[in-house]
């Protein structure tokens, strides 16, 4: 499930919830289930660029032996319709679309 809203000041807020099961017997009990919650706020910077602030929680991921929410910040640079770079933590992404029928993506997620 996800929801996104664009505010009057052009900021965008969103939330997404994923529920799944990593088991040979899916959804057999709560112990096999995982929950992931992502919240974000996108703040425009100029005409095409923006700052993106996130908070990510995943019940199936641990940092230092703990299940903790991970804050994030990234800058989205969009110099043209063919190129987008989102550089930040905990993710980065570059998208290049040299032709209408071809898109090249490179993504980095350290977690």
pLDDT tens, residue by residue, 40-66: 999 999 999 999 999 988 887 766 677
**Strands of the 2-6 sheet, one edge to the other:** 2-6, 12-21, 33-45, 49-58, 70-80, 83-89, 92-99, 102-108
pLDDT at 60: 76
5, 16 contact by CB (below 8 A): no
Give the start-to-end residue ranges of the domains of the chain: 2-108
* Longest pairwise C-alpha distance within the chain: 50
Q: pTM above the 0.85 mark? A: no
- The whole-angstrom separation of Cα 7 and Cα 12 is 6
Helix (H) or strand (E) holding 76: strand 70-80
């Amino acid at each position: 499930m996800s929801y996104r809203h664009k505010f009057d000041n052009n900021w965008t807020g969103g939330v997404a919830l994923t529920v799944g099961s990593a088991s040979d017997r899916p959804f057999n009990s709560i112990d096999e289930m995982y929950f992931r919650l992502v919240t974000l706020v996108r703040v425009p910077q100029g005409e095409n660029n923006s700052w993106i602030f996130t908070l990510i929680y995943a019940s199936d991921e641990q940092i230092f032996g703990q299940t903790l929410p991970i804050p994030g910040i990234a800058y989205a640079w969009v110099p043209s319709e063919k190129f987008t770079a989102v550089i930040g933590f905990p993710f980065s992404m570059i998208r290049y679309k040299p032709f209408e029928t071809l898109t090249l993506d490179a993504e980095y997620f350290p977690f």
